[in-house]
Structure 1
């Protein structure tokens, strides 16, 4: 009882607030510094991460390895610049990490790496991160720790069979402390999701796998919070899924819904243009 009371108190603590425009500026600075790709798929999850870190997850700001923390599993590991931007705001990585992104000797790679404080999984191979998240949720459920696991997957990533195996097991084990968040931006590396592998209704598929499911505008932060709270209030014993409708490249006009920005790099002019747009964005 004492442990449960302690965890409840920690959940209620005020958290830092994350500004999406500031996070996007950090992503642009990293990408330009490292001559790196994957801006579009980082931008589409900025608001989701803002609300997870800013309102819903339990963690110790002074200790990313706090054993009682909630888990954020970025299964779509190529969007990791968005998570790095959040970790920078928390002080878990420094300005030198941002400026040296993707350089020789940098600890920040282009894919999620569990050696970086705050990154729970190494998830360069798509489809594998969710399985790790299911394992973390299972351990927390069996240990009765009260910990939750939020796993972010891409809509293109769910072509992978390992995603569906993980979902089957999550439902079988009744992991109601697991929430799978789908970044449904309609694109993957080689084209639209409809062109590469038609997905039909993602919500219906999760429901058929015995998940409690909601859809949300993935850039409306109040709606995101309301949907997370509603899912977590459902005491069905089933895992949760949030299908977030997002825009690839959100926040910079020349990147929005332009799939070339999965692999395109910034030159000096495009870098300056992106910063100008983000400086003028609402705070």
Structure 2
């Protein structure tokens, strides 16, 4: 199975789980599916049978409302059965709407309030650098999350400490819960901003799995932290969801799930 087929299966499962469990944030999860596929199948040093191995790489989800995308990616990567995903958002389930302290295997941090994951990662990356460990740290943030001041404090800190073991990825889908991101806060020019903060900056198509994989591998060659700005589409992969901000909260019907399945080319 190629990576595009894996991403299609993840997208279908996201829709089906959302419909059956009545959990939201589908559009936000669909926009980062290709990024997660590239990370977990091409880049991250992780082992599903030994999720806490000391030499592993760490993935920290900043946009915690896209937890279902992370849970589903981990399931297809082999951390637990796909059927377990249908516990999402249910009473006493480890699959909380935002990853919590009792998260399933493979989830490296809680993802409650936005803006904290990059700060956490900088501290973890610095610790490993001091201890001369080879672990690498990857943080996925939403563009709306960049409204938070802690992001920019962490950005300055990471550059100041030359955290070459740290990569920040921005899922730049141009939308957040209450509207268009650039109308709510002045985000652009993002490349120049991150570069001015001392990061090596890459901008690419956030749905080109090959390009994402190459950029993530290339990021290992720099002596400074790397920021990858991934231009994405909210609701990507399903035509009637794309760029429709209603899918930040809407739950698909089973008919809509079947239409999504057809569009994704799945039988």
TM bucket (normalised to shorter chain) is over 0.9
Give CA deviations for 1:82-129 in whole Å, capped at 9, x if unaligned.
111111113323244212221222210111234321111111210111
Q: How far apart, CA to CA, are the structure 2 residues paired with 1:174 and 1:216?
A: 23
Residues 127, 162 of structure 1: 8 Å contact kept:
yes
Residues 48, 106 of structure 2: 8 Å contact kept:
no
Give CA deviations for 1:30-64 in whole Å, capped at 9, x if unaligned.
21121111011101111111111111111123111
Q: How does 1:1-283 map to 2 (within 5 A)?
A: 19-115=6-102, 116-234=104-222, 237-280=223-266
Point out the more displaced range, 266-275 or 116-125: 266-275
Residues 213, 231 of structure 1: 8 Å contact kept:
no
Q: How far apart, CA to CA, are the structure 2 residues paired with 1:177 and 1:140?
A: 9
Q: How far apart, CA to CA, are the structure 2 residues paired with 1:113 and 1:203?
A: 32
Q: How far apart, CA to CA, are the structure 2 residues paired with 1:49 and 1:207?
A: 24
Partner SS for 1:150: strand
Structure 2 residue aligned with 1:7:
none
Q: How far apart, CA to CA, are the structure 1 residues paired with 2:265 and 2:85?
A: 19
Q: How far apart, CA to CA, are the structure 2 residues paired with 1:184 and 1:262?
A: 15
Partner SS for 2:150: helix
CA shift for structure 1 position 159: 0.5
Q: How far apart, CA to CA, are the structure 1 residues paired with 2:78 and 2:187?
A: 38
TM-score, normalisation: structure 2:
0.94
In the alignment of these two chains, the number of paired residues is 264
CA shift for structure 1 position 280: 4.5
Residues 40, 255 of structure 1: 8 Å contact kept:
yes
Q: How far apart, CA to CA, are the structure 1 residues paired with 2:117 and 2:178?
A: 21
TM-score, normalisation: structure 1:
0.89
Q: How far apart, CA to CA, are the structure 1 residues paired with 2:154 and 2:116?
A: 9
Partner SS for 1:112: coil
Partner SS for 1:163: helix
Change (3 A) 1:266 1:46: same
Q: Which runs of 5+ in 2 are unaligned?
A: none
> CA RMSD for the aligned pairs?
1.6
Q: How far apart, CA to CA, are the structure 2 residues paired with 1:279 and 1:99?
A: 22
Partner SS for 1:279: coil
Q: How far apart, CA to CA, are the structure 2 residues paired with 1:27 and 1:136?
A: 30
Change (3 A) 1:238 1:165: same
Residues 97, 107 of structure 1: 8 Å contact kept:
no
Partner SS for 1:182: strand
